[in-house]
Chain A
Amino acid sequence: MDVLGISAFYHDSAAALVRDGRVVAAVQEEAFSRRKHDAAFPRAAIAHCLEAGGTSLERLAAVVFYDKPFLKFERLLETYLTTAPRGFASFRRAMPVWLREKLFQKDLLRRELRTLSGSGRSSRLPPLLFSEHHLSHAASAFYPSPFENALVLTLDGVGEWATTSVAEGAGRSLAVLRELHFPHSLGLLYSAFTHHLGFRVNAGEYKVMGLAPYGEPVYLRRILDHLIDLKEDGTFRLDQSYFDYCAGSTMTSRRFDALFGGPPRAPEEPLTRRHLDLAASVQAALEEAVLRLTRALARETGARHLCLAGGVALNAVANGRVVRDGRFDEVWVQPAAGDAGGALGAALAGYHLTLEGPRAPAGGGDGMRGALLGPAFEQPDVERRLAALGARFAVLGDRELIADTARALAGGRIVGWFQGAGEFGPRALGNRSILADPRAPEMQQALNLRTKFRESFRPFAPAVLEEEAGAWFELDRPSPYMLLVVPVQERHRVAEPAGAALEGLARLGVPHSTIPAVTHVDGSARVQTVSRETNPRFHALIEAFGERTGCPILVNTSFNVRGEPMVATPEDAFRCFMGTGIDRLVVGNCVLEKAEQPAALRHDQRDVVEPD
């Protein structure tokens, strides 16, 4: 039985196909449209999922949308009524779109699906179902998890009403136990600071997390005393006089600015000590709230397994704290924890809860299959596509390819690595990756400034052989999705120069371990463990690099530049390669050297970079 899940119309549109409860394919629309966080109806993503599953719309058991538009409209209306007349300007902007389109989303979806099936009004479409936003998130975290029974904690900005929810999963069943409602939201609290720090809401939250270790949480007390009334069990309320998202068009109010000693930072304005401290403070507040929640849940329910989903679950630092806190035996985080993953959760909820499809025994396996669920390209197709672009490449055998690439990486080259199926979710996990040597002290800044064209403070993640992870990081379990930040083992750490008394961004560029390119200023790393079973080729490459250098770790960052989605096709990969500081591109078994490419095909990708 095939079920298609869709998320669309807000941000990160995506489609996912589930067959008998197993994930067949999942991909974001941005991969095809090349617009980051594309919110359009995911036409190309759906077409890809159907093709990957060898099926058609007419043969599906159901199509499930990831949230409930009427419920969202109810929240909007009630919020406007509560804040009237203050929110009139926002009301006037929002209502036309709702009254014209969004309120009629069922018809809109049917129309889009009919267009996609190409068979006109008479065609038979499968039933169209709607899953609640937080139920979709919870389903995306519970059903693919290796647990038969688990608690599911979903934290995000807002869905319909829920901003925080706890669900209980057991076998096929999944029920939401309790919820906290809008406007009280940890996601929106974090986004308010993201806005205040001059980054884009719904996109720049990673930057706040990356910035936090450069500062001190000196504003934490102020946040806890004024902004958030955080109870012992982790439940909370936000004082709305400091925010403006209910009635206005920005996140924060003037009172917020007064409390934190200045107006919001303009994008690209220099980061000051105050900004770093604000980032550190909101990160500390978030961790405190999440820990109180998970501790209270463990205490009240006695559950041993925890699943996390929702945009806040992408905060790998907070996840790392939850794991190290040890209240749960195991913690599993959905890699596409944001709204894109809602498409997958909607399909799974439709299959298990509405169609009552059985859940295969979890058996300790990971239903996400390494999140490698996107489009893949056969070797002859890759060669044909590259040749059509005028690229010059050599085709190597598997063994030679691994040895040769490991040699290039050990020699300090930056490698674009495009293999197999693309990743679902915001992280490159070794199939659409830019790879480099983590031992080189200058690598972080070189990658940030010359290859990714992004802020120099942003850290990179290590991809380490699963069997070697414990020797390098304080990590006693797999972290296949780069969703846990943990300390680098003490024996690999390097102290900052004595008497240097460096602070803030001045600490950037000072090695903090023997693998400085992937070690943040606080000695932590956002680890991805790579297993032979999930991604044998990537595992073999890291192993070969380890044999050559004694360091079974590579820098792994997404294959894109700032403001662009991850590359999705060999053509995208070649374009990115030719416009950035990547030295070598490996697509399937094709190897391309920058120096050998026609000069006419070079361009400066920096020219097309949009602020993100």
Chain B
Amino acid sequence: MSFLSDLWAFLRVRRKFWLLPIILVMLLFAGLALVGQGSTVAPFLYTLF
């Protein structure tokens, strides 16, 4: 949670809110890729992307 609050504080100070969707999508991809590594989630990922 501290990561998210730090990230929000950073975006607010820098006034770069437009980076938020990019970072979140990249983190989502990274998270799914990590979960999907050789697991039963893989087929689900293929249908998604």
Contact = CB atoms under 8 A, between A and B. Distances in A.
Interface of A: 70-71, 74, 77, 95-96, 99-100, 103-104, 106-107
Contact of B14 (A74, A99, A106): A74
Contacts of A107: 2-3
A106 B2 CA distance: 9
Contact of B6 (A74, A95, A100, A106): A106
B22 interface: yes
Interface string B3-32: 100110010001010010011001100100
A95 B10 CA distance: 19
A100 B30 contact: yes
Pairs A-B, 5 closest by C-beta atoms: A99-B30, A70-B10, A104-B3, A99-B26, A99-B27
A70 B7 contact: yes
25 contacts: A70-B6, A70-B7, A70-B10, A71-B10, A71-B14, A74-B14, A74-B16, A74-B19, A77-B19, A77-B22, A77-B23, A95-B26, A95-B30, A96-B30, A99-B26, A99-B27, A99-B30, A100-B30, A103-B3, A104-B3, A106-B2, A106-B3, A106-B6, A107-B2, A107-B3
B36 to A, nearest CB: 14
A71 B14 CA distance: 9
B8 to A, nearest CB: 11
Contacts of A74: 14, 16, 19
A78 to B, nearest CB: 8
Contacts of B10: 70-71
Given A99-B27, A107-B3, 12 more contacts: A70-B10, A71-B10, A71-B14, A74-B14, A74-B19, A77-B19, A95-B26, A99-B26, A99-B30, A104-B3, A106-B2, A106-B6
A107 B2 CA distance: 9
Contacts of A95: 26, 30
Nearest to B14: A74
Contacts of B7: 70
Contacts of B19: 74, 77
A95 B30 CA distance: 9
